[in-house]
Amino acid sequence: MHIKVGLLFSFTGTTSITEKGQYDAACFAISQYSKEEHTIEVVTRDICSDPRKAVTEAEALAREGVKVFIGCYTSACRKAVLPVLEKYNCLLVYPTLYEGQEDHPNVFYTGEVPNQQVHTLIDYLMNQYGKRIYLIGNDYIYPRETNAQVKTYIKEKKGEVVEEKYVPFGHREFHQTIQDIILKKPDAIFSTLVGQSVLAFYQTYNQMGLNPEATPIFSPITKETELYAMGTTIGAGHYSSASYFQSLNNPMNKAFVKEYDQFFGERKAISSVMFNTYLGTKILLDAIIKKNSFERDRIFHYMSGKKMETACGTLRIGTKKRHLSRPVKIGKALPNGQFEIVWDSASNIQPRPYRIKQSKKSHVNEIVLNAWGQISEEAIIAISEHRTIQYMSRKAIEMTGFNKGETITPKMLKQIEKTYQVNSYEAKMKTLFLLKPSFEKSFESIYQFGSIQTKNQLFQTELETATIASQSTANVLILGETGTGKEVLARSIHEESDRKDGPFIAINTGAIPKDLITSELFGYVEGTFTGAKKGGSIGRFESAHNGTLFLDEIGDMPLELQVILLRAIETKKIIRLGESKEREVDIRIIAATNRDLEEEIAYNNGFRSDLYYRLNVLSIDIPPLRERPEDVEALAWKFINEFHEIYGDGPKEVDQEVMQLFIEYPWPGNIRELRNIIERAFLLARGKSSNILSEHLPKKIKGYYNRKMPSELSLKDVEKKMITQAILETNNVNEASKKLGIGRSTLYRKMKEFEISL
């Protein structure tokens, strides 16, 4: 078979740095076909980063009999050649990450689309650095369209775009932009700059002394090739995301890199767009050869749904769309120009090339607001996503003097914030402001996630992370003292995720005997050990397939078993005991512990740091109940209602003094202890009293109550007293923290707060 391939890359022009690498990768892929069996003729054209040149060259080559094109790096070039592909019935391997919004029947897209690459990057950015993001890009289709999606995504995640800036294609003067960044102090920068602009931007960032630890740049584009071109130390500390990184530490990739270097006779930087070029070229040529045809529909039909093991994991070609389902990683650039992998989706992310439709615009329900406005103590203002006032209660008009239809400016907002206590709620792109005179007691908003409710600000922030966690498959680490509700939270994440119909399997990793843990986790085949069940057994990893595996008390897992667990978590593959076959499992891992794992790693050598970082992709720290007394009353009522359902009848009221005691008691056993105490009191009062009274409480609580009453000790006083006593007794922070059942860092913080020293 004779195949004439047209390579359309820019060897001159602003994006040539990247495209030369793609050209090399295409040549490498083509070199792997035996010349005896097929003749592959390669014609190369320089399209000079110019869409007009791309069209004329493509058309000229199509007339000369080229049926397969590879390249067209920028979206502007790709879009420009589409009519040529249609006219001459040619195929294009488009191997570049891009903005999506396209699925042309003549194109095979092997680059990442935003939901695979950009959303993961934004999630990581927000979790690690904060929610204020500065957008910078070149002024053409890819950055503008990508940022349109990024802005929606940031808004959904309650982040803020502090600036959105575009510079012309090839722009290299960034002093003013960097100055603007210094002034606006974003938490991170998201860059869609390409070509020469990338180098100039990072170099100016570096010259002007910005620090990647404080304000890193996240860019889907800046990869190994660009880092080498700008000077590897200049890009160090910044982030990118892709399926492929040259540093991937697996045998397939090592062999690929070795062969690549041998082919070119030197060490080369290999980036994801290069790998995607290699991959796309091979896949399409294989299909053409196999089907002995250039006929578009036959070829795509043959490729559709194909699964491939590659150097960057298992990829699958879409059955409906010509894009790849793939795992995605996030890399942090090292001073040697390579990336350290800091996050790995582990399982594949499906391509969603088309932007997800935004929820339909909602209208404020004036009838409901009117009724509410008449009875509410607060003044109510509802504003649209464009900051136009859509509703004002009479009180709000009297208090502010604003009118319906007016646009709320930042100045007006400041003015009301100065005068009133303002609580704002966001729902369906609308914001509702509730205004109260500021001397009144603060209004406590309730945050709900799954079955958990809280008024506590700190816990609300943690639950926001839980919300993010429920929408991804990232590993989650839940921290918190015993009884704070770590398992309840893990279940809520599962219930709120799209795995909710799959199983939720909980396992207490600290409680299983050492010699049983492997069979418990991974299963075994019949006859493997004495006492093994007939027919063998599947382990918890397999039971959790398509669902969530909750590894409780992970901090208590013996060190030597942590390595086995790490391997299974990393590969998502297990081997049953007594078998050699690897089995793949699709699971999301949530781990929990009441230990301070960082401390275990640093001081006691009790936990593997690699396992810690694997698990701690998203971490959620549940505050102890004594640090969120505002939640005690609601929890108490929740339990009383629950016991009414279980036991049929019982006390309906709680004595006011008892409730006050519940609020002030330090609850060392947290919510579990509160629940137990209420159940006990409920049963003691049942049939005798319609109220839960102090006589229904156990001695230790009544004792606390009696001790407290004369001196009116506050919760803080009790805490201070307990800490002082523990420090006096042990004269050692480590031991005192163990005695008190709190982490060292918490103890240091408290000692500072109460001015206690050793």
| Closest distance to ligand ATP from the beta carbon of 716 (Å) | 24
**CA distance readout (Å), 701 to 117, 191, 340, 482, 658:** 54, 57, 52, 19, 10
Give the interface segment with ligand ATP, choosing from 62-70, 105-113, 475-483, 694-702 (CB under 6 A).
475-483
Segment (H or E) for 92 = strand 91-94
Residue 445 in contact with residue 423, Cβ under 8 Å? yes
Q: Map residues 516-555 to x or -, x wherever contact with ligand ATP holds by CB under 6 A.
A: ------------------------------------x---
Helix, strand, coil tally for the chain in percent (to 5) = 45, 20, 35
Give the interface segment with ligand ATP, choosing from 16-24, 81-89, 263-271, 479-487 (CB under 6 A).
479-487
Q: How far apart are CA 241 and CA 248, in angstroms?
A: 13
| Closest distance to ligand ATP from the beta carbon of 485 (Å) | 3
Q: Map residues 389-418 to x or -, x wherever contact with ligand ATP holds by CB under 6 A.
A: ------------------------------
Tokens of 114: 């935003």
Q: Map residues 649-688 to x or -, x wherever contact with ligand ATP holds by CB under 6 A.
A: ----------------------xx--x-------------
Q: How far apart are CA 735 and CA 732, in angstroms?
A: 6
| Closest distance to ligand ATP from the beta carbon of 552 (Å) | 5
Quick one: how many helices (H) and strands (E) in the chain?
29, 32
- Judged by CB, which is closer to ligand ATP: 85, or 636? 636
Give the interface segment with ligand ATP, choosing from 132-140, 477-485, 523-531, 612-620 (CB under 6 A).
477-485
| Closest distance to ligand ATP from the beta carbon of 476 (Å) | 13
Residue 96's nearest CA partner among 106, 110, 82 is 110
**CA distance readout (Å), 500 to 102, 147, 470, 587, 660:** 31, 31, 10, 12, 38
| Closest distance to ligand ATP from the beta carbon of 80 (Å) | 56
Please select the residue that binds ligand ATP; options are 74, 191, 484, 537, rule is CB under 6 A.
484
- Could you give the angle at the alpha carbon of 337 between the alpha carbons of 336 and 342, nearest 5°? 100
- Judged by CB, which is closer to ligand ATP: 188, or 517? 517
Q: How far apart are CA 166 and CA 145, in angstroms?
A: 12
- Judged by CB, which is closer to ligand ATP: 482, or 689? 482
Please select the residue that binds ligand ATP; options are 163, 180, 417, 487, rule is CB under 6 A.
487
Which residue is it, tokens 């523990």?
726
| Closest distance to ligand ATP from the beta carbon of 307 (Å) | 38
Q: Which of residues 426-465 bind ligand ATP (CB under 6 A)?
A: 452
- Judged by CB, which is closer to ligand ATP: 278, or 639? 639
- DSSP class of residue 388 equals B
- Judged by CB, which is closer to ligand ATP: 28, or 667? 667
| Closest distance to ligand ATP from the beta carbon of 450 (Å) | 9
Residue 476 in contact with residue 593, Cβ under 8 Å? no
Amino acid at 502: G
| Closest distance to ligand ATP from the beta carbon of 371 (Å) | 31
- Judged by CB, which is closer to ligand ATP: 180, or 487? 487
Give the interface segment with ligand ATP, choosing from 323-331, 378-386, 481-489, 740-748 (CB under 6 A).
481-489
Q: Map residues 574-603 to x or -, x wherever contact with ligand ATP holds by CB under 6 A.
A: --------------------x---------
Residue 681 in contact with residue 696, Cβ under 8 Å? yes
750 touches ligand ATP by CB under 6 A: no
- Judged by CB, which is closer to ligand ATP: 50, or 596? 596
Residue 166 in contact with residue 220, Cβ under 8 Å? no
- Judged by CB, which is closer to ligand ATP: 295, or 520? 520
| Closest distance to ligand ATP from the beta carbon of 359 (Å) | 28
| Closest distance to ligand ATP from the beta carbon of 668 (Å) | 12
Q: Map residues 618-637 to x or -, x wherever contact with ligand ATP holds by CB under 6 A.
A: -----------------x--
| Closest distance to ligand ATP from the beta carbon of 673 (Å) | 9
* Helices 733-740 and 715-730, packing angle to 10 deg: 130
For 301-357, the DSSP string reads HHHTT-EEEETTEEEEE-SSSSSEEB--EEEEE-TTS-EEEEEE--S-B----SPPP
Q: Map residues 221-260 to x or -, x wherever contact with ligand ATP holds by CB under 6 A.
A: ----------------------------------------
482 touches ligand ATP by CB under 6 A: yes
**Number of residues this chain uses to bind ligand ATP (CB under 6 A):** 16
Tokens of 569: 């978590």
Q: How far apart are CA 584 and CA 587, in angstroms?
A: 9
Please select the residue that binds ligand ATP; options are 486, 494, 588, 614, rule is CB under 6 A.
486
195 touches ligand ATP by CB under 6 A: no
Q: How far apart are CA 278 and CA 271, in angstroms?
A: 11
Closest residue to ligand ATP, judged by C-beta, is: 485
Q: How far apart are CA 355 and CA 243, in angstroms?
A: 20
CA Rg, the chain, in Å?
31
Residue 287's nearest CA partner among 473, 514, 110, 496 is 110
Give the interface segment with ligand ATP, choosing from 5-13, 39-47, 476-484, 558-566 (CB under 6 A).
476-484
Please select the residue that binds ligand ATP; options are 404, 638, 644, 702, rule is CB under 6 A.
638
| Closest distance to ligand ATP from the beta carbon of 737 (Å) | 17
- Judged by CB, which is closer to ligand ATP: 212, or 485? 485
Distance of CA 194 to the CA centre of its chain: 25
- DSSP class of residue 139 equals S
Q: How far apart are CA 612 and CA 628, in angstroms?
A: 27
Q: What is the number of other CB atoms lying within 10 angstroms of the CB of residue 492? A: 21
Residue 173's nearest CA partner among 201, 193, 195 is 201
Q: How far apart are CA 706 and CA 710, in angstroms?
A: 7
Tokens of 468: 């993010």
Q: Which of residues 300-359 bind ligand ATP (CB under 6 A)?
A: none
Residue 280 in contact with residue 288, Cβ under 8 Å? no
| Closest distance to ligand ATP from the beta carbon of 403 (Å) | 43
Residue 697 phi/psi, 5-degree rounding, is -95, 150
Residue positions counted in the chain:
758
Q: How far apart are CA 148 and CA 128, in angstroms?
A: 23
Give the interface segment with ligand ATP, choosing from 128-136, 416-424, 482-490, 750-758 (CB under 6 A).
482-490
Binding site for ligand ATP (CB under 6 A): 452, 480, 482-488, 552, 594, 635, 638, 671-672, 675
